[in-house]
Amino acid sequence: MAFIGDADEQNNPSITTLKILIIGESGVGKSSLMLRFVDDSFDPEQPATIGVDFRVTSMVVDGNRVKLAIWDTAGQERFRTLTPSYYRGGQGVICVYDVTNRSTFEHLDHWMTEVDTYSTKDDAVKMIVGNKIDLPNRVVSREEGMKFAKRHRALFIEASAKTKEGVQCAFEELIQKIIQTPGLWDSDKPTFRLGQQATGGDGMCGFFNFDNSSWSEYNFSLRISSNRSFLKRDRRMSKAVTRVRKKEIIKIIHPPLLRTNIKAQMASAAPPLGPMLGQRGLNVANFCKEFNKETGHIKQGVPLPTRVHIRPDRTYDLEICMPTTTWLLKQAAGVKRGAMSPAKGGEAAGIISVKHIYEIAKLKSQDKACQGLPLEVLCRKMLVCARSCGIKVIREDLDPEKLKVFLDERRAVVQKQLVELADKKAAKMLRTT
């Protein structure tokens, strides 16, 4: 698959124009993903989309030129108008969430309902994208994302519009899937006309009028004219195809970079690590042996963020980072558990001083991902993480006497919380049996 320029258009005319929608909560990075894919650019100050933004590009899939009309919709409810018309005729829908913001993940259900309600194509290809994986404060795991995608029979990938990771792969996979779906794009040819008006009133997708002189510029008008009988016929035809294809569409794309936490000296073929490695075609036993050997000098059980860069020939580079920030913070505070509800009521799970923060930041600065980051920025990240674990950071040195009293009290609180949790679990088991 490759991008080609306008000059090639005459030699290799496009077989179709595909309408791809990007949806999801505000701020998850929809516009950023689109701009990374189309212009290979990233704006850290990307303004919010109002209504709908739109880009056109083209690519070659299996030797065929395909034009892509990518619709970037506004995540903010107040900027969303004409919702049904966004979906009309869309062959592919990319539903984005932010891996560092759980509520954007929890709202995916709403977006999938919207797709099912408004999509005029039963077999439109859906893809779930977990964006912003470059950020350290992830709260939605890859497994959760995969599970959601599987439930909705959608493709799944994690990406970062900032670092480019997974972006190209996401679009390519989506387009390929659409092209492989008979009836999804080939029956639409008359409804998409570039540089000229579509004829007749039976265009169920409205009509586009592009300024062909520049691909990045656009000038489109939308005419909502749906012919119901045409719609029904199209649905009847595609339902038969859908039945066959629904099973196939559950395909998870594994990007070449695997990021996970593995405990020092404790890598094993058991889930979740074993399946993660196996799905990528790595020799699990050899990997575990190598990892455990590499971490032989570290205390057993310390959680180590690990990156595995997998090459197409299944060889890999192993990057083992400093222990996770939360683990380091909890060690510094002398506690095993963070606060259950740090936001509510300001429950404090531990106390550390700013000196601890500085030392932890210095340790983390040795990680490849943090290299080049000023220590001040890292310290701020540590502070955010401490806050989310409920660990209080004080400016002055800790008073050992006061700390001992605090830790004794905290132990009693944790004990009580654990008993309550066990009771709740037992009550739930009773209800379900």
**Closer residue to ligand GTP (CB): 29 or 338:** 29
Question: Rounded to whole angstroms, how far apart are CA atoms 375 and 355?
Answer: 13
Q: Which of 12, 41, 76, 197 binds ligand GTP (CB under 6 A)?
A: 76
Site string for ligand GTP, 152-191 (x = CB under 6 A): --------xxx-----------------------------
Paired tokens of 263: 């405990």
Q: How far is the CB of 114 from ligand GTP (least distance, A)?
A: 14
If one asks whether residue 372 binds ligand GTP (CB under 6 A), the answer comes out as no
> Shortest Cβ distance from residue 36 to ligand GTP (Å)?
8
Q: Interface residues for ligand GTP in 223-282 (CB under 6 A)? A: none
Tell me the two tokens of residue 50. 């109002």
Residue 173: name the closest of 257, 61, 308 by CA. Answer: 61
Contact between 46 and ligand GTP (CB under 6 A)? yes
AA identity, residue 280 = R
Nearest to ligand GTP of 111, 406 (CB atom): 111
Nearest distance in Å: CB 99, ligand GTP = 9
Q: At 204, which amino acid appears?
A: M
- Residue 101 as a binder of ligand GTP (CB under 6 A): the answer is no
Tell me the CA distances in angstroms from 340 to 104, 346, 361, 388, one per residue in order. Answer: 21, 10, 24, 10
φ, ψ of residue 255 in degrees (nearest 5): -70, 160
Stretch that binds ligand GTP, among 126-134, 137-145, 277-285, 343-351 (CB under 6 A): 126-134
Please tell me whether residue 77 binds ligand GTP under the rule CB under 6 A: no
Please say whether the dihedral angle defined by the alpha carbons of residues 297, 301, 307 and 310, taken in this order, is positive or negative: positive
Q: Which range in 46-54, 182-190, 233-241, 254-262 contacts ligand GTP by CB under 6 A?
A: 46-54
Select 22 or 146, whichever has its Cβ closest to ligand GTP.
22
Contact window for ligand GTP (CB under 6 A) among 40-48, 172-180, 306-314, 319-327: 40-48
Shortest spacing between CB 304 and ligand GTP, in angstroms: 23
Q: Examine residue 30 and tell whether it contacts ligand GTP (CB under 6 A).
A: yes
Selected binder of ligand GTP within 31, 91, 191, 265 (CB under 6 A): 31
Of the candidate spans 42-50, 114-122, 207-215, 271-279, the one that interacts with ligand GTP by CB under 6 A turns out to be 42-50
Among 14, 57, 58, 131, binds ligand GTP (CB under 6 A): 131
Q: Return the SS3 of 185.
A: coil
Pair of tokens at residue 64 = 């065929």
Is 170 in contact with 94 (CB distance < 8 Å)?
A: yes
Residue 381 found at the interface with ligand GTP (CB under 6 A): no
Sheet of 257-263: strands edge to edge? 257-263, 303-310, 316-320
Under rule CB under 6 A, residue 325 binds ligand GTP:
no
CB of 24 to ligand GTP, least distance (A): 6
- Residue 80 binds to ligand GTP (criterion: CB under 6 A): no
Residue 251 and residue 285 in contact, taking contact as beta carbons nearer than 8 Å: no
> Would you tell me how many other CB atoms lie within 10 Å of the CB of residue 220?
15
Task: With H, G, I as helix, E, B as strand and everything else as coil, classify residue 32.
Answer: helix
Interface with ligand GTP by CB under 6 A: which range of 11-19, 21-29, 60-68, 197-205? 21-29
Give the residue with the Cβ less far from ligand GTP, 50 or 421. 50
- Rounded to a whole number of angstroms, the distance between the first and last alpha carbons of the chain is 53
Tell me the CB-side half-sphere exposure of residue 352, using CA atoms within 13 A.
26
Side-chain-facing half-sphere of 302: CA atoms under 13 Å: 20
Q: Is 366 in the site for ligand GTP (CB under 6 A)?
A: no
Q: How far is the CB of 30 from ligand GTP (least distance, A)?
A: 4
> Tokens 């933004």 sit at which residue?
53
104 binds ligand GTP (CB under 6 A): no
54 interacts with ligand GTP by CB under 6 A: no
Neighbours of 14 (CB within 10 A): 18
**By CB neighbour count within 10 A (0-12 exposed, 13-18 middle, 19+ buried), where does 138 fall?**
middle
As given in the structure block, the two tokens for residue 71 are 């619709």
Residue ranges binding ligand GTP (CB under 6 A): 24, 26-32, 43-46, 48-49, 74-76, 131-132, 134-135, 160-162
